[in-house]
Structure 1
């Protein structure tokens, strides 16, 4: 493994690990808020127990997420110093705002965790809302910085240097809004289905009321998000078609420029022969996806120098995984919303609980695939159209060893988190069994 691949893999592993904790940090506080609100409204102890149980999980994820996020910040400077030399003064503003949002979130979470029976009940409730708002804003600011890499703005590039820097224009680049809403919606969908799936497993073992309430709250968020996601994805695709046509072509393994371009479902890209084998093709649908017109022309990879093509197979497969899972989760959202209206005892249907269990990891798999599409699909550029990734690599040798070390540490942390969460779940189960 060469230094360049080791550096990219290290960033990929770090981001893939951190993104799960970031999503949970954005979403779970809203679940806690609703559970506490339901407790204040109904005075049912089950909602109070649920809010406190979720809070313990949030505290675990928050601590590990803070560490992994800090590691990512250091890796940007350690692995890609040339990039940070030029990009730091331009897109530093969203990172500074993200730090502020993170501190607000940390302070509010501390008040929420230790404020039971010490703060006014309504004040305590709205502090939980502050945790949720700060978490979402923190995510949006980081996404804005990443979006800048896909849609550079706020500077003029002259003789290899950035001049006339405008940090506000850089932060509010053409990609920040579409990437932000796509990611935030995905976080609510993935976290909601994961939480519902875990509680579905527990409900199948012991039909406790707390798990039923948890499933309902989590699915209420997840279902709405899953139904919004295709609309968000359509907006994202049209934005990519405008800004990064080579990336869109790699999504679909679209080699030749043509009108009424077909949407490719599945298939195996053959880059050498510039074709896709064993695919289902829907005539005109790629043109509609990209430009809102079934007859519009869509640029193929042939329009770009081959050395500037993204890695087509991995981008295509990741895009297919992301879209396929997204459509499946949207179907589950429809079933939940329809079933809640029609069925009085829908939680007693084992097939439905088993579907939720199957869906438990799928949202996060889709998020991981989506970030592969975003990052790998931008290659070979680290700043799209301005600086190539290989030109930003640190001259420091031995990156392979830091990659192996970081991977081992994250695997260890994963086992610790799973153990801690399992311990909390067992304590909750034992409490309710003893009450029964």
Structure 2
């Protein structure tokens, strides 16, 4: 699936002897997955942020938090719809573009997707109930209808990660005569790479959604909208991302050592290491040209220290990989540079979180620190770029395999039809969906700005007069 998708970024052109369909298939999967992966964090994490705002509004009688929760729920519904469309296209592409994967390994690879389908339908049902339930259900009953939305989105993401991690660490199946003849579902789902990849992606979702939300409110505050409504919206998103950021770096460091042990070819690409050795430097930047590292800045012994906590740690280089399954120089350079971007942006976002903590500790009015707000306004884009870079590392690093040790990408691709036409049609569909989603979101933004931050339409929120906090208003939005 995604290994083939990102392969085009690494390969650029098809190698001699590869099927003609390999390049357009990779191009299409790269584009569609790259589009869809941006929506995943909002499906997983924005719903949780929405519930945090909802809980805060009910628990503390906070009208601003309730208004935020209601508005975020509508944004989440739009992004859920877009994600459903793009995810469905990806499902069809698996069968159309990669029949070798589905024909030989479908019983194992398809099992996590069956689980994901159940979570998807559960999420769709409760998204509808939650959106419809504003002003129609009692406050706490309505809040609890949102909990399955957040939990099912996490479960669905976990199921997809199970399929992807299985491609990196295939187990739990018996393969005979070109077919999977027996599947052990628990081993397939909870394969050796699952928990690390799942935790890494889950934290990434909260980081991307949190910084993206904070960036929207930071832009508003830079334009003079510094009301409590904007400050609360910013804080819910930013604090969530800031808490997840150091945890993500710890998890990422642990995953790097797992890759060192379990995926030596990927680790050699990450470290831009053509030859096996000890006292391996950490190379910042640089590319691999004709098997030689060019333009990089070496930090002596650092790669060996990070891999095994001592300079004498031996790291397998690309020379330890059989020539017929060795990744190309272009693929290696892509993985290495993507890793550098991911790590660099991660530490930049961590620095932003530390900056905020310092401002908070020193009791400085952070909402008036324009350089801080400018950096926050860019943090959402930085988090998305970090996410995309991480997926490039994961997927291009698996090349030339689709299922590591079992199925090469060139053997998985279809050999029928003109895929460029199919790719063009998918581009048109995604362009229409993307433009439609942006148009709807901008329309909602303009309407909310016209209503103002102190709109009277607060769902079952604090009200004047004798009515209790839990009373429902008589008007609907």
Counterparts of 1:23 and 1:396 in 2: how far apart (Å)? Answer: 35
2:220 and 2:230 in contact (8 A); partners too: yes
2:287 and 2:295 in contact (8 A); partners too: yes
TM-score scaled by structure 2?
0.87
1:92 and 1:167 in contact (8 A); partners too: no
1:93 and 1:168 in contact (8 A); partners too: no
Question: In the alignment, is residue 214 of structure 1 matched against residue 220 of structure 2?
Answer: no
Q: CA deviation at 1:434?
A: 8.1
* Residue among 116, 120, 143 paired with 1:98: 116
Residue deviations 1:123-170 (CA, integer Å, cap 9, x gap): 222222221111111101100100000000012334433344212211
How many residues get paired? Answer: 434
RMSD after superposition: 1.7
Question: In the alignment, is residue 297 of structure 1 matched against residue 317 of structure 2?
Answer: no
2:103 and 2:179 in contact (8 A); partners too: no
Question: In the alignment, is residue 341 of structure 1 matched against residue 361 of structure 2?
Answer: yes
Q: Which runs of 4+ in 1 moved over 6 A?
A: none
Structure 2, unaligned stretches of length 5 or more? 1-12, 14-19, 457-477
Match of 2:298 in 1: 281
- The within-5 A match list for 1:247-266 is 247-266=266-285
Residue deviations 1:14-49 (CA, integer Å, cap 9, x gap): 111111111110000111111111111222211111
Match of 2:164 in 1: 146
Counterparts of 1:434 and 1:209 in 2: how far apart (Å)? Answer: 10
Match of 1:388 in 2: 408
Counterparts of 1:402 and 1:323 in 2: how far apart (Å)? Answer: 35
Larger radius of gyration: 2
2:286 and 2:295 in contact (8 A); partners too: yes
1:200 and 1:353 in contact (8 A); partners too: yes
Match of 1:406 in 2: 426
Matched position secondary structure for 1:297: coil
Q: CA deviation at 1:209?
A: 2.4
- The structure whose RCO (Cα within 8 Å, separation 6+) is larger is 2
Matched position secondary structure for 2:402: strand
Counterparts of 1:413 and 1:149 in 2: how far apart (Å)? Answer: 30
Match of 2:446 in 1: 426
1:91 and 1:171 in contact (8 A); partners too: no
Counterparts of 1:323 and 1:54 in 2: how far apart (Å)? Answer: 30
Matched position secondary structure for 1:254: coil
Structure 1, unaligned stretches of length 5 or more? none
Question: In the alignment, is residue 317 of structure 1 matched against residue 337 of structure 2?
Answer: yes
TM-score scaled by structure 1?
0.95
